[in-house]
A = this chain, B = another copy of it.
Amino acid sequence: MKTIFISLLTLITFANLHAQKLSSPNTELQLKFELKKDGTPTYTLSYKDKTVIAESKLGLELVNDDTSLLNTFEITDISTSTFDQTWSPVWGEQSSIRNHYNEMAVTLLQPSKDRYIIVRFRLFNEGLGFRYEFPKQEKLTYFVIKDEHTEFAMTADHTAFWIPGDYDTQEYDYTTSKLSEINELFDEALTGNASQEQFSKTGVQTSLMMKTSEGLYINLHEAALKEYSLMNLNLDEPTLTFKSWLTPDAIGNKAYLQAPAVSPWRTIMVSDAATDILASNMNLNLNEPNKIDDTSWIKPIKYMGVWWEMITGKSSWNYTDDLPSVKLGETDYTKTKPNGTHAANTAHVKEYIDFASKHGFDALLVEGWNEGWEDWFGHSKDYVFDFVTPYPDFDVVEIQNYAASKNIKMMMHHETSGAIRNYERHLDTAYQFMNKFGYTSVKSGYVGDIIPRGEHHYGQWAINHYLYAVKKAADYKIMVNAHEAVRPTGLRRTYPNLIGNESARGTEFQAFGGSKPNHVTILPFTRLIGGPMDYTPGIFEMDISKLNPDNNSHVNSTIANQLALYVTMYSPLQMAADLPENYKRFMDAFQFIKDVAVDWEESHYLEAEPGEYITVARKAKNTSSWFVGNVNGITPRKTSLKLDFLEDGKTYEATIYADAKDAHYKTNPQAYKISTKKVSSKSTLKLKSASGGGFAISIIEK
């Protein structure tokens, strides 16, 4: 690890100091911190000499504290420093990541209250991160945040790619509109969900992606969210200023802090190149280094699952239809009538194991294996699952042995139903069960409103829980893929056993009515800024009625687009989500899924436009192989793909999986063509992407 650390401690007489500037390493970004006359702290950000974030306030409102931490500050110290270090993640888009920023820490004293805070700014080439720090001190020990008052003042009515602000879910399709249109389009943007609560018709979630009329890209998000509540943004329409809006607990408070404490980092990325936004590691770099000593048990996973057939309604999670309700430990399932559609049965699981093993997959997820699925949803049920009791037709030991014999790891499923206390009561025994029966990773879920009632998925209470579960999992050498939990904000750097999250509108919604065809060209700019997404791609049968006649949903994507997702939707955890029988019909296309890597040495974002297209090339770790993916939005498009990222002097064979000439996400999604070509770093490929289409290429050294 190459480390250059230069510290410049600047002590100036601060009595009359009101403003201070900071530059990014390449000087393109300029930050100005300024204290107003009334002692309100503000910041301004410019890019290449043009203001991007106009003067924006900072501060926090406290409960039972009239003065709060909003104004009447004085600067008592400004420290600046530079940091430049390269580090290696356990897994990721790159094997080596540079962390290079200029930092400014401003100490703000509130004389009337004899207390102080620090606002720390880190300016990277691609963006700004800043946070509030509350050092240990006599006059600031315990305090409750009523709301945070951080502003992000936009300079014009930009185009935004947004979803409605919500305390419980991110599973919305994106709306592309001007900021001034958010209000009128808000209701339309709302679709139903098992758990949701909005707070304002101009509320939006992060990360928020924007593009100005001058072609500048701006992204707002947060990093290192822990022991705090999630930040949404609320637009003040007259001033086009976004204001932070934290998530309340059951009694309306936003966060409970004990000094010493820090807020999460608020991040602003700016570039005239959209690919810079996607390529940035700023969110990761703002997180603390890895805390897990031995990471040998943490490995990226390519998996299949007994799952999609339930999502489509072809099969059921529940074992029987006999029971109006279940009481775990009292309900005798052997006395009920099996419904005949319960997919998680030993024989069927073994079929999946056979297929997955034959095709080189690492793991198999099985949902619906455990008692309790008959009434798990919609009843605010507390003792809903115990995570250790299988249904009568799921033989844990037999499956464990069979999977082991086929070199398949079993992936556990813990649906919590949002009943957090119940999950924590069972967590140790649930993890011990996993260790005992060979489950190395767990997909956890939080479907439905959180229990304790009144709490939200994105409140401090639940956020504390999610990390508690991840840390405890590490004690048991278990990898975690948490669905419906808080969207990630880079904690995977500190806890690399957190290998996945959903926390956005994933592939399952294609079976719940479909998602917009350009959805996957937006997600990497929004949801994925803070971390990978278990998007569960790889659907080959777009007409869901073929799986379940009662479900007329359509997957708004071509097969080539589905293949591309393994490259464009970064995740160390990649699922081939469809049913084996659907793959069997397109084994040539399936070959790409078998070949594509899940862990990367390098990643090059070649071209990108939010809502339109993304093209990425990645080099697989410890190989000379490359994989390229393109996902396309509504408008058919041509790409001139230069392969100059390949190593000079080598020859490769490229296998290109592309949309057929007449492919279309809706009318002809399964039309693709596969071709091979000898290529080198000097080659250029001419490719066409259909509407909702794309292409995927594997490039193997020859």
A residues with CB within 8 A of B: 136-138, 141-142, 144, 249-251, 253, 256, 258-260, 324-325, 327, 375, 379-382, 421, 424-425, 428, 452-455, 461, 464, 468
Contacts and interface: CB of A to CB of B under 8 A. Distances in A.
Contact of A379 (B141, B381, B452): B141
Contacts of A380: 142, 144, 256
A256 B382 contact: yes
A561 B141 CA distance: 45
The 3 closest A-B pairs by CB, nearest first: A250-B454, A250-B250, A142-B379
Looking at chain A's contact residues, is the secondary structure mostly helix, strand, loop, or mixed? loop
A259 B425 CA distance: 23
Given A250-B455, A256-B380, A452-B452, 8 more contacts: A136-B325, A141-B325, A142-B375, A144-B380, A250-B454, A256-B382, A258-B325, A258-B381
B259 A325 contact: yes
Contacts of A454: 249-251, 452, 454
A327 to B, nearest CB: 7
A474 to B, nearest CB: 16
B250 A452 contact: yes
Given A259-B325, A425-B468, A453 B381 contact: no
A270 to B, nearest CB: 37
A427 to B, nearest CB: 9
Contacts of A381: 142, 258
Contacts of A258: 325, 327, 379, 381
B324 A138 contact: yes
A474 B250 CA distance: 33
24 contacts: A136-B324, A136-B325, A141-B324, A141-B375, A141-B379, A142-B325, A142-B375, A142-B380, A142-B381, A144-B380, A249-B453, A250-B250, A250-B453, A250-B454, A251-B453, A251-B454, A256-B382, A258-B327, A259-B325, A421-B421, A424-B425, A425-B468, A452-B461, A454-B454
A424 B325 CA distance: 27
A115 to B, nearest CB: 11
A324 B260 CA distance: 11
B253 A453 contact: yes
A445 to B, nearest CB: 20
A181 B452 CA distance: 38
Nearest to A460: B382
A428 B428 contact: yes
Nearest to A453: B251
Contacts of A142: 325, 375, 379-381
Contacts of A256: 380, 382
A95 to B, nearest CB: 33
A599 B15 CA distance: 74
Contacts of A259: 325
A246 to B, nearest CB: 15
Nearest to A455: B452
Contact of A424 (B250, B375, B421): B421
A299 B547 CA distance: 63
Nearest to A449: B251
Contacts of A453: 249-251, 253
Nearest to A465: B421
Contacts of A250: 250-251, 452-455
Contacts of A379: 141-142, 258
Contacts of A138: 324
A375 to B, nearest CB: 7
A425 B424 CA distance: 7
Contacts of A382: 256, 464
Contacts of A251: 250, 453-454
A454 B421 CA distance: 15
Nearest to A379: B142
Contacts of A141: 324-325, 375, 379
A142 B383 CA distance: 13
Contacts of A428: 428
Contacts of A375: 141-142
A455 B452 CA distance: 9
A384 to B, nearest CB: 10
Contacts of A421: 421, 424
Contacts of A455: 250, 452
Contacts of A137: 324
